[in-house]
Structure 1
Amino acid sequence: MKYVVLKNSQSVLSVQLPDGFGSKMEIICFENQMEFDNFLDENPVGVCQISFPHQLDKTTTEQNHFVHDGFFVRQNDFFKKILFINIMWIEASRSYCYIHMTDNSNIIITYPMAEVKKKLPPDLFIQTHRSYIVNAKFVNKYVGNAVYIDNQSLPISRKFKKKVLENFLFLDNIKLPPDEDENPFGNENQSFGKKSNPNR
């Protein structure tokens, strides 16, 4: 499969070419739709039509063009950049947060968990508990109500469990906590231990 990438200062457009398209390629630019239509009238065979997107406003273009890969945190008299890919998990303690890094260091920041969460990419970080956010890339084990990063156990609260497990693929059925309106022990009339004999 072949791909073509068209790039300018504002955006990137990738095109997947169909099989058999060939290795020789010619890129032709048009100034307007009329020139494009005239070209199609003269060359109707083997042309892949691609619509030209509308011009985006400057604010939207700038937001989409740059993807943040980390944030800056204060370290004494300067700000240090922390890359998202180097954060294993974040632990909250009142108005502070401890950022646990891949090099086994911890960075303390004076921000509550809710504010830190807003800065994190949601496709990479998962909140498992009111006091914990984990980097999904580093989760290597799941047991009951906890995920593990290396040998560190990180709790999953009932509130977040369903959402947490939706971020991972399982090759076996997993048991989710029952809804609050369901009886977790099944039939209330069912006794434990020996089954009662109705004929007695």
Structure 2
Amino acid sequence: MRTILLLLVLVIHAVGTAAWGFSLKLDGLVTDYATGKAMQARVRVYKNGALAQVCTTKANGKYAVSLDNGADYVVRVDAPGYQGKCITIGTQGAEWAGDRRVRSLEVEIRLPGRIYGTDLSSLDLPLGIARFEPATGHVRWSQTYERNIQAEVRQAMALYNRLARASGQLASTRLHGSILVEALVL
């Protein structure tokens, strides 16, 4: 009986003691793909598939959202007249008791304006997949995923750039050499 009571006390104590680790704060900037100027946009955060928060960027295009540990997130950014983009971030992992540090991750998202005749549906796929480790505060972007979508995104953006230049909406090509850069500057 004494053993059962001791086990019960230990279980209650373990459940009541919160584990802590780094938490993740996503700081970002939303810009117009063609001009590079900051813009207002809507930022939607889905936690484990359910809409968890919605915010609007400030006039300077900046946004900040905090992400709880132990979840899968999809962060979608869009604005009227622009093609939206998204990234995914997983925050699962071990946590250290009593650690309340915050890791800030900066992500710039460049939204291309919609142009008739372009199919940018490939941008509806996450343009980056990140894993955040609460115990260490490290963020890793999936280079394998980026390599897998790179050709499709390049093809869509090349067509977009041709049409945008032809319509006068884009003065020069803003494609980057790798999607790895685009994962941080989307």
**TM-score normalised to structure 2 length:** 0.20
Larger RCO (CA under 8 A, 6+ residues apart)? 2
